[in-house]
Structure 1
Amino acid sequence: MNDVFPVTPLAPSARPALICFSHLRWDFVWQRPQHLMSRFAESHRLFIWEEAIPTDHHLPYLEFHAFEGTSVQSIRPRLPAQWSVQQKDRALAGLLDQMMALAGIRRPVLWFYTPMMWPIARHVDAAAVVYDCMDELSAFRFAPPGLAANEAALMKAADVVFTGGQSIFEAKAGRHGNIHVFPSAVDTSHFANARAALAEPADQAALPGPRLGFYGVIDERLDLGLIAALAKARPQWSIVMIGPLAKIGPEDLPRAPNIHWLGQRGYDQLPAYLSGWDVALMPFAMNEATRFISPTKTPEYLAGGVQVVSTPVPDVVRQYGDLGAVRIAPDAARFIQACEQILAGQGLAWREAADRMLADQSWDNTFRQMQSHLDRVMRRRLLSSSPLPGVGGLLAPDGVTSMPA
């Protein structure tokens, strides 16, 4: 049996199963879920259960997506667009049971990145329930109305809770007895390639210097007015913006001859872009959507050997505010001034302190610690032999209770 590259998405295996419920597509951008789940896939059968996609078909069904070079399976439910929320949740619970039965999955680990998927899985007899709260989703634009209630239910059922930063940890620490903070980590060796003389991508190589850049999802969390002010004040600077748009449109983006919106690029391409930047930007807006974020970009930029200018995101200030390589600027004038200070040049002495800080922030280290917490709660649950409250069988697609596979 080939456990690394199964012949079919549902190929049986002796390895334990982990079902990760994510609001993010596996192949959207490479961030926390991808870093951690790709590591869990080395020891588990890994299923990424993604948000449902509307269909004109009159029946629900599942799409299985395999990805070259990995054993991860992405599961994309398709549901009739006209159905109510209750109909969709009932169907999703049934589809989940079908998948588990076909794949021979028994007592999987259930790992949640979104509380909105808890209702469809709460009936499953799980080896453990994990809530990795990497963002305060309720503060994001277009947050679903049932999110708070579903999070409360998930927090009550979870064996262990992780948070993506210190601020969100402090906001939720009183709601669970086994909660741990794991801020954004970094694949240091990957981004350290930017310190070498990499060949720059053609769409950036032609831009005049100095170059100041940002990569990441471009959404309501960015201060677009700050980007416009930066470009207007220093027309000789090239502002490089890399990433997909989410929840905003092209018409929302500031336009200027020296602002270059390059679109989304692959994770493997980022070091080559970073290697051509003189300053790395973190122009986040100060609003509810950024109050609890712990951006992965800070350690990635530093690992790539580029100094950072950031707006005062609380977790960035807390973790990096005393580091010489990261300058915090609360308004456009001081943001521009901080960029100018970096461009004036102060040698590479800052790198030593930055590298010391990054030494313990690897995704491998984060994964090992999370795995240790998971092993402990699995042992505890196994010894207590206590399935989730309310488990009394699995829901078939028609809503009739059936026995577990």
Structure 2
Amino acid sequence: MARMINNVKNAQKNKLNRKKRSYGNAPQHYDMIVFSHLRWQYVYHRPQHIISRMAKKLKVLFIEEPVPYDENKKSGNLIIVDEILHVLQPNVRDIQSIATIIPNYVNNNTVSFGWFYSAAFCPLLEHINFENIIYDCIDELSLLKDASAQLVHQEKYLMAQANIVFTGGKSLYESKKQLHKNVHCFPNSVDEFHFSKALNGIAIPDDIAAVKSPIVGYYGVIDERIDLPLLHEVAKRMPDVSFVMIGPLAKIEEADLPKESNIHYLGMKFYNELPNYLKAFDIAMMPFALKDATKYSSPTKTLEYMAAAKPIISTKIKDVVRDYSICVSLIDTADDFCEAISFLLEKRDRLSMEMEYYKILQETSWDATAYKMELVIKAYAK
């Protein structure tokens, strides 16, 4: 990796404005190709935090899952995030077909690093020569709704090829360390400076400012992992409390959402807007259903809520219980949820809570996580 850093260190000048364009330039040399099921311009999550930091030293092509196929369009759209970080949205039929368009964008026959966020991309290993293969496992994707039946076998193949496996939480680490000899646990982290803006004089957006307080809020993807019946029951029992859900829908329909006058769905917001919305929360919640899809979850938003000094109520996700039970209100039932809301609104010990948050936040940051990952890569890379 040190050799690659030296090769591209002069490529960090003259940052370009972000823009989206159809492919039209000549293929380029990339030091790292990243394959992700999460889209760069979707919810800002671990891939964006980690890869944007890796791209300070390596030229990176971030490849998303294919967009809907259209014979009349170009092979893909290239988003120029900056001079050495590009995002490719392939316009092909399926993941394997990405191999046919790679020469349109990449001019080196051997790429130093292949970085995978999903094993569904593993068929591309037959077509692209990587010196090093890294698997950053951030969820047990095979357990999610509509997951491919092949995904378990694809992950076994990817792990057999990988030089390094990272995991986004302790439960995932305990699972994957049985399957690979070089697994490293790097739990999801936080940009504390960004989310602590909620403590300052930033403006509260109009759509949430119009919501009656107190507000119990959530932001993130709204999908099958949210315990919607639990949310519905609590909202019915506490009509004087507003429940705000911020984020896009995934794998569920609007008709699946509970409808009450005190439940407000504000849609997806940009990452830079989240502190403004978080400022309006009186309590932050993580109402995840306890099921296979959340068995290995390590919610990034836990630390983000802490950075904004918000009291937190969560269902008993394993990694949340293990790491944050001292300062997060853990609940099982609607009764528990209602009691926790009442307690936090009336009797919470804010100073004690913030002291515990401070201790936790001192131990983590995305900068530190990316740096430690780099050290691991340097130790094992060819």
Please, what TM-score do these two structures have when normalized by structure 2? 0.91
| Distance in structure 2 (CA, Å) of the matches to 1:341 and 1:113 | 40
Question: Could you give the per-residue CA deviations for residues 244-298 of structure 1, whole angstroms, max 9, x where no partner exists?
Answer: 0000011110011110000000111111111111110000001110000000011
1:361 aligns with 2:374: no
1:301 aligns with 2:315: no
225, 235, 253: which one pairs with 1:221?
225
| Distance in structure 1 (CA, Å) of the matches to 2:146 and 2:52 | 29
Q: Which residue of 2 aligns with 1:401?
A: none
23, 28, 49: which one pairs with 2:37?
23
| Distance in structure 1 (CA, Å) of the matches to 2:370 and 2:280 | 31
> Within 5 Å, which residues of 2 pair with 1:141-160?
141-160=145-164
1:118 aligns with 2:132: no
Query: Secondary structure of 2:261's match?
Result: coil
> Within 5 Å, which residues of 2 pair with 1:87-236?
89=96, 91-101=97-107, 104=108, 106-236=110-240
Question: Could you give the per-residue CA deviations for residues 100-124 of structure 1, whole angstroms, max 9, x where no partner exists?
Answer: 22xx464331000000111113443
CA offset at residue 168 of structure 1? 1.2
The residue type paired with residue 312 of structure 1 is: K
Distance 1:60 1:145, change over 3 A: farther
> Within 5 Å, which residues of 2 pair with 1:46-61?
46-57=60-71, 61=75
Identical amino acids, percent of aligned pairs: 37
Q: Is the 8 A contact 2:32 2:113 kept in 1?
A: yes
CA offset at residue 59 of structure 1? 9.1
Structure 1 unmatched runs, 5+ = 382-405
Q: Is the 8 A contact 1:21 1:117 kept in 2?
A: yes
| Distance in structure 1 (CA, Å) of the matches to 2:368 and 2:208 | 34
Query: Secondary structure of 2:351's match?
Result: coil
CA offset at residue 92 of structure 1? 2.1
Q: Is the 8 A contact 2:39 2:64 kept in 1?
A: yes
The residue type paired with residue 217 of structure 1 is: V
Q: Which residue of 2 aligns with 1:336?
A: 338
Aligned length: 365
Question: Could you give the per-residue CA deviations for residues 368-402 of structure 1, whole angstroms, max 9, x where no partner exists?
Answer: 01111111121xx2xxxxxxxxxxxxxxxxxxxxx
1:78 aligns with 2:80: no
Question: Could you give the per-residue CA deviations for residues 86-105 of structure 1, whole angstroms, max 9, x where no partner exists?
Answer: xx62x32232244322xx46
Q: Which residue of 2 aligns with 1:39?
A: 53
Q: Which residue of 1 aligns with 2:278?
A: 274
Name whichever of 123-132 and 366-375 sits farther off.
123-132
CA offset at residue 198 of structure 1? 2.4
363, 374, 379: which one pairs with 1:376?
379
| Distance in structure 1 (CA, Å) of the matches to 2:126 and 2:72 | 26
Query: Secondary structure of 1:349's match?
Result: helix
| Distance in structure 1 (CA, Å) of the matches to 2:375 and 2:134 | 13
Query: Secondary structure of 1:275's match?
Result: helix
Distance 1:60 1:93, change over 3 A: farther
Structure 2 unmatched runs, 5+ = 1-9, 18-23
Question: Could you give the per-residue CA deviations for residues 9-28 of structure 1, whole angstroms, max 9, x where no partner exists?
Answer: 65756xx6111000111100
Q: Is the 8 A contact 1:311 1:330 kept in 2?
A: yes
The residue type paired with residue 221 of structure 1 is: R
Query: Secondary structure of 1:54's match?
Result: coil
| Distance in structure 1 (CA, Å) of the matches to 2:362 and 2:350 | 21
Question: Could you give the per-residue CA deviations for residues 106-151 of structure 1, whole angstroms, max 9, x where no partner exists?
Answer: 4331000000111113443323100000000000001012111111
Q: Is the 8 A contact 1:132 1:161 kept in 2?
A: yes
Q: Which has the higher contact order (CA 8 A, sep 6+)?
A: 1
291, 299, 303: which one pairs with 1:287?
291
The residue type paired with residue 362 of structure 2 is: A
The residue type paired with residue 50 of structure 1 is: E
| Distance in structure 2 (CA, Å) of the matches to 1:110 and 1:347 | 45
Q: Is the 8 A contact 1:197 1:275 kept in 2?
A: no
Query: Secondary structure of 1:228's match?
Result: helix
The residue type paired with residue 356 of structure 2 is: A
Question: Could you give the per-residue CA deviations for residues 226-261 of structure 1, whole angstroms, max 9, x where no partner exists?
Answer: 111111111000111100000001111001111000
| Distance in structure 2 (CA, Å) of the matches to 1:269 and 1:59 | 33
The residue type paired with residue 373 of structure 2 is: M
1:350 aligns with 2:356: no
| Distance in structure 1 (CA, Å) of the matches to 2:303 and 2:349 | 20
The residue type paired with residue 99 of structure 1 is: Y
